Amino acid sequence: MEPPISLDGEDIRNEKLKVLRSIRKLEPKDVILGQYKTSGGAKVDACLNGLTPTYFAAALYIDNARWDGVPFLIKTGLGLIKHQMEIRIQFRNVPGNVYHECIGHNMDRAVNELILRDVPDEAILVRVNNKVPGLGLQLDSSELNLLYKDKYNMEVPDSYEHLLLDVIDGDSHLFMRSDELAAAWNILTPILNEIDKDNMSVELYEMGGRGPVGAYYLWAKHGVRWVED
């Protein structure tokens, strides 16, 4: 969102609403649905019907001046290898990168990232490509790590503790307004309608794995490679 004119809850929600209303209509071709299974291929939960997804991935675009052409890739799911919540910002390579021959075509090494992690441990991580010390010209990927629990000798409150305290204090800046909620549903409702019409397929993925393979093809289609830890 754009910077609000103040830290007042209404000003923050106004800017959040503008972003939600600027999100381009989500197309089924930019969505991957998945459902977990056992290693033998059977469904884990017998109550799941053929179209009940346990995984969702999508590529979103925000049609405004700041984010024009920048893909926002989101994924969430059950039964994955990790319980993790984070935002990853990948920086594009500059044109005419003279170090390209040193990096090669390994996108894991070529991508610089800023990672804002909320779960399991709050942290700010920066992954950068750097030259290895010495007389050669070898590049490596390094991580700068600010782990809150190590940096600050205090118990870090979880998200719900923050929200409950805000309720007591009458601070509403983290809460959604009704028009925000409606704008968010407008993004997903067309996809939900397609699911109800049996127009979208659900890809099976192994319980305890990394999710449907189709999600990685979706990232590649939009010029992004998901770098696994």
pLDDT in tens, 130-172: 888 888 778 888 899 999 888 988 887 777 888 899 899 988 8
- CATH classification number, 9-221, choose in 1.20.1260.10, 3.30.360.10, 3.20.20.70, 1.10.340.30: 3.30.360.10
**pLDDT given at position 198:** 87
**pLDDT given at position 111:** 81
Question: In the chain, what are the domain boundaries?
Answer: 9-221
**pLDDT given at position 89:** 93
**pLDDT given at position 106:** 64
User: What's the rounded mean pLDDT across residues 93-112?
Assistant: 68
**SS3 string of the chain?**
CCCCCCCCHHHHHHHHHHHHHHECCCCHHHEEEEEEECCCCCECCCCCCCCCCCEEEEEEEECCCCCCCCEEEEEEECCECCCCEEEEEEECCCCCCCCHHHHCCCHHHHCEEEEEEEECCCEEEEEEEEECCCCCCCEEEEEEEEEHHHHCCCCCCCHHHHHHHHHHHCCCCCCCCHHHHHHHHHHHHHHHHHHHCCCCCCEEEECCECCCHHHHHHHHHCCCCCCCC
Q: What is the pTM of this model?
A: 0.84
**pLDDT given at position 40:** 63
